[in-house]
Structure formats: structure tokens, C-alpha cells
């Protein structure tokens, strides 16, 4: 054979081998990455070739699938009462992906979860019908919160303290996920993502803000657990007015005539005495306050319910003046409504904090359970006696103090108001908070936290009792009578 031809033949053979190796590599090594690539059109075509499974609230689907007109994507996601349940469902978009429960359970909902396949499906590669996600959300509680929040910018969370079930998760302003579920909804997407009110942000668990005086419950729990004070009725060492250590800054109380000097924890919570809890935080030191806050969920990076919540923060590295401010929920302390509902839930449940969750089970298309979710575990964050003392003091807040708008006939209600400064030198409208628990005559319990970021109320009318407590009342009442 001619030497040149032989060399050319060997080179051609090497090229063929290289192509075979590359094809094999792509088929067996890169196939999953290519299949999962967000730019792979075939993935979207397959995902929306059939109706998706549903997200269930109160026994009924709040999602659906509609046949599209034209195009290569046969179905698109639809939502019932979309704005009401958007903080729970998230969205599933043919273009922009999926979030919240839609994103976490995407494989289950579109039928690609291996648990949905029978042996024959596995052999043939047939796609199974999508499964369903059954939530813990109570529609009556959800609707009560959404209606009560109205046109405010804010959020609310309702928990069952004993089980950790999330009964309601509301965020306003909201949006209808149906508006962005199709392949031609780019204008609606731009409108929603550029809206300065940020309707697509789930404020209930993704918007940590200063919790103000609601954080005084955490400081009180730390003081009682530490033994700094023996009970909620022991007098504290709390000068009034109180000057923050190392500064000339005098910390005053909203109600100048309130009996806050050396007040008990009960009285301090009733009148929301800043001097009591700022001094208490300084006396404890930031490490002891942090230890209690972290038991309750602060500084946790991975709080999944199963959607991941933003971290609520109790800061470190503070001086004594900053520690004092942290004791009244200011300085760099931040919390989500979910986090503050956990604080009330732990107190209501005798000091045991049950991990919150909003999915009870997942099923196949025929309703057979694939996986059932329990309470996710619990941990003791304070003794039963400390919890009982705080429950009693919170009842005083509602019955005789700043939380009167949360009273419910025929139920035992405890709560704590909060008004957190906003902006440099409190130049912007403050945030209004309320965290609470209620117990019915039948022993049923609920814990609720509400945060109002902004409303149409005049600045001097912004308060936890005026704005947030009525919303908590509506949700608690719905939970107790559901």
C-alpha cells in the first residue's frame, strides 16, 4: 500500500474513533446535564406535553393545566385564586422556570419522579402521570389573612404549635402566577419584576425586617432561663429613662407615663417598656440572648418548610449600646413573620418548638401516598415553667395592655405588639408587628405573626395593635373555628 494512502487511512480511522469516543461520552456522561439544561427546548416540550399534577389545599386543587393553542408546548399551568395562594404554590412558567412548591416538587408534578413509575414504565421509558402535593394550608385561615391584609404591604403566617403545620402563609401585594405561565407572557413578566411593590416576593418567609418589640419575648425567655429573674412578676433592675452604656443616648418609652421603672417582665411586656428589655439584654450579654434566639431559629441558614426561608438574624460583635438596642428588636436584628410565629408557637407549646412545614404528603395521580411528612422533629427551647410565665404575660398584653385588638370572645389569646424603626433616624414609616397565640375551649391552638411593611395609615397611626393585631385576630379566629 502506498505510504501516503496508509497514513491517510490511519488518520481517518483515528478521526472515526475520536467521534465514537465523543459520542459515547456525550451519551453516557453529558446526557443528564444536557437534558436538564434550561436552554434545552426538548425538556420543556416533554415537561408540558401532558397535564401537570396538582397542589392541593383543603382537599381541592388550587392548580390546573390548560391546553394551549398552537406551538409545541401542549399544556400550560393554571391557578385558582392565584394571588391568594401564590406565596404557597409559587409559579410554573414555560419560559421562566418554577419556584416555591412548583419548583421543589417539579419532578413529581411533571411525572418524571421515579417513584411514579411502575416496572413496565421503567422498561419502556413511558412518562407517568404527574403526582400531587398535599399542603397543610387551611383555606379558611389563608382567606382570612389575605382579606384582612387588604391593600397593605405585609405578610402573615399561622402555625399549629403542636404539629408545626403551617395553616396560612399570606403576602401582599400578591400576583396571579397564571399571568406568567405561558410562553408568550414576557410583557407580564417584565411588569411584575419591575413593579416597585415587589408582588412576587414572599414577604412571609423571604423578607426579614427589624421585628421591634416582638423580639422582647426572646430577651425575656433568655432572662428567665438564665435565672437573671425568677419569674415574670419579679421586679427588674431597669432605670427609666435608660442611657445606653458608653453613650449619651437616652432610650425612652413610647408611653412616657407607663410604670416602666424597675418594672416586672409582665408589666414591661404590657406597656412595651424599652428600658426594661434594653437593660435586660445588656445585663445578659449578647451571647446569652443569641443562644436563646438561635434555639428559636434565628441565624439558621437552612430553614426549609420545604421552601427555604431567608435567615432571621441576631447579630454578633456588638458593643453594649448595640446589645441594648438589639434587646428591643432594633440595631441589626431582623426576622421574618415565619420566624416570629415560631417564637409564639414555642411559648404556646410549653417551650417545645416543632419544626414548621407546609406539605403533609405527596401522592401519585391515583391518590396513593408516596411519602408522608410528620412534624419534622422538635426541640425544647425553654422550660415549661418559663413558657407558662410568658404565656401569662402575653395574655396580660392582650387583656390589659397594647394588644387589645387581638381579643377573641370565647378564646384565650396572648400576644406582643411591635413597632420597628425604619430608615436613618427613623425617617421612614415604621414597621408594625404582632405575634400571638390563641387557644380555644376545645384545646385547639394556633400561633400567628403579622408584619405590616407599609399601609395607607398616617405615620402617627402606625402601631402593632392598630394595624397588625386585627389581622392576627382574623387568622386565629379562623383557625380555632375551622
Provide DSSP, 50-88: S----EEETTEESEEEEE-SSSS--EEEEESSHHHHHHH
> In this structure, how many other beta carbons lie within 10 angstroms of the beta carbon of residue 300?
14
Cα→Cα distances 333→69, 250, 434, 468, Å = 51, 20, 16, 20
CA neighbor of 467 nearest in space, from 212, 268, 88: 212
Q: Which of 65, 174, 213, 344 is catalytic?
A: 213
Task: Please give the grid coordinates belonging to residue 385.
Answer: 415553667
Q: How many CB atoms lie within 10 A of CB 442?
A: 7
| Residue 94 DSSP class | T
Cβ–Cβ under 8 Å, residues 46 and 130: no
φ, ψ of residue 270 in degrees (nearest 5):
-60, -45
Task: Assess contact for 350 and 384: CB atoms under 8 A.
Answer: yes
Distance CA 68, CA 51 (A): 11
Distance of CA 148 to the CA centre of its chain: 18
312 an active-site residue? no
Element (H, E) at 348: helix 337-348
String of b and e for 51-83 (b: at least 16 CB within 10 Å)? bbbbbbbeeeebbbbeebeeeebebbbbbeebb
CA angle 74, 77, 83 (to 5 degrees): 160
**What one-character-per-residue DSSP string does 350-419 give?**
TTEEEPPBSEEEEE-TT--EEEE-----EEE-S-HHHHHHHHHHHHHHHHHSTTGGG--TTSEEEEEEEE
Separation between Cα atoms, residue 77 and residue 53, nearest integer Å: 10
**Residue 470 in contact with residue 168, Cβ under 8 Å?**
no
Please, are residues 100 and 307 in contact by the beta-carbon 8 Å criterion?
A: yes
Catalytic residues, by residue number, are 213
Amino acid at each position: 500500500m502506498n505510504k501516503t494512502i496508509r497514513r491517510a487511512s490511519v488518520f481517518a480511522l483515528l478521526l472515526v474513533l475520536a467521534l465514537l469516543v465523543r459520542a459515547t461520552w456525550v451519551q453516557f456522561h453529558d446526557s443528564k446535564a444536557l437534558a436538564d439544561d434550561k436552554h434545552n427546548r426538548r425538556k420543556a416540550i416533554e415537561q408540558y406535553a401532558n397535564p401537570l399534577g396538582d397542589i392541593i389545599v383543603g382537599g381541592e386543587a388550587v392548580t390546573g393545566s390548560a391546553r394551549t393553542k398552537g406551538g409545541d408546548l401542549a399544556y400550560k399551568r393554571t391557578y385558582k385564586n392565584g394571588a391568594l395562594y401564590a406565596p404557597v404554590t409559587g409559579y410554573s412558567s414555560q419560559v421562566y422556570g418554577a419556584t416555591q412548591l412548583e419548583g421543589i416538587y417539579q419532578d413529581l408534578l411533571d411525572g418524571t419522579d421515579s417513584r411514579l413509575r411502575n416496572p413496565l414504565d421503567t422498561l419502556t421509558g413511558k412518562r407517568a402521570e404527574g403526582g400531587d402535593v398535599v399542603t397543610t394550608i387551611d383555606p379558611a385561615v389563608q382567606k382570612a389573612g389575605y382579606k384582612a391584609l387588604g391593600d397593605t404591604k405585609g405578610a402573615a403566617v399561622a402555625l399549629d404549635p403542636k404539629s408545626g403545620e403551617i395553616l396560612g402563609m399570606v403576602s401582599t401585594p400578591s400576583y396571579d402566577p397564571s399571568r406568567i405561565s405561558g410562553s408568550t407572557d414576557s410583557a407580564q413578566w417584565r411588569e411584575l419584576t419591575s413593579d416597585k411593590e415587589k408582588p412576587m416576593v414572599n414577604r412571609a418567609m423571604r423578607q426579614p425586617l427589624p421585628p421591634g418589640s416582638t423580639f422582647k419575648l426572646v430577651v425575656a425567655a433568655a432572662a428567665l432561663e438564665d435565672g437573671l429573674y425568677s419569674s415574670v412578676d419579679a421586679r427588674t433592675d431597669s432605670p427609666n429613662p435608660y442611657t445606653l452604656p458608653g453613650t449619651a443616648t437616652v432610650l425612652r418609652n413610647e408611653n412616657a407615663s407607663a410604670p416602666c421603672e424597675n418594672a416586672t417582665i409582665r408589666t414591661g411586656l404590657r406597656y412595651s417598656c424599652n428600658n426594661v428589655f434594653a437593660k435586660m439584654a445588656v445585663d445578659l450579654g449578647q451571647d446569652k440572648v443569641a443562644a436563646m434566639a438561635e434555639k428559636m431559629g434565628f441565624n439558621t441558614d437552612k430553614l426549609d418548610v420545604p421552601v427555604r426561608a431567608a435567615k432571621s438574624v441576631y447579630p454578633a460583635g456588638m458593643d453594649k449600646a448595640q446589645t441594648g438596642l438589639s434587646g428591643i428588636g432594633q440595631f441589626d436584628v431582623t426576622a421574618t413573620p415565619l420566624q416570629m410565629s415560631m417564637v409564639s408557637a414555642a411559648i404556646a407549646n410549653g417551650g417545645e418548638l416543632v419544626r414548621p412545614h407546609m406539605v403533609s404528603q405527596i401522592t401519585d395521580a391515583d391518590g396513593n401516598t408516596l411519602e408522608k411528612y410528620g412534624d419534622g422533629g422538635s426541640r425544647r427551647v425553654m422550660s415549661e415553667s418559663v413558657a407558662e410565665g410568658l404565656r401569662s404575660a402575653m395574655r396580660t398584653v392582650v387583656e390589659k395592655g397594647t394588644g387589645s385588638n387581638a381579643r377573641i370572645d370565647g378564646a384565650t389569646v396572648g400576644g406582643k405588639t411591635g413597632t420597628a424603626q425604619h430608615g436613618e433616624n427613623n425617617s421612614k414609616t415604621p414597621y408594625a408587628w404582632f405575634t400571638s397565640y390563641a387557644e380555644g375551649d376545645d384545646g385547639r391552638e394556633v400561633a400567628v405573626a403579622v408584619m405590616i411593611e407599609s399601609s395607607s395609615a398616617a405615620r402617627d397611626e402606625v402601631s402593632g395593635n392598630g394595624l397588625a393585631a386585627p389581622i392576627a385576630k382574623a387568622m386565629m379566629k379562623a383557625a380555632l373555628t375551622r
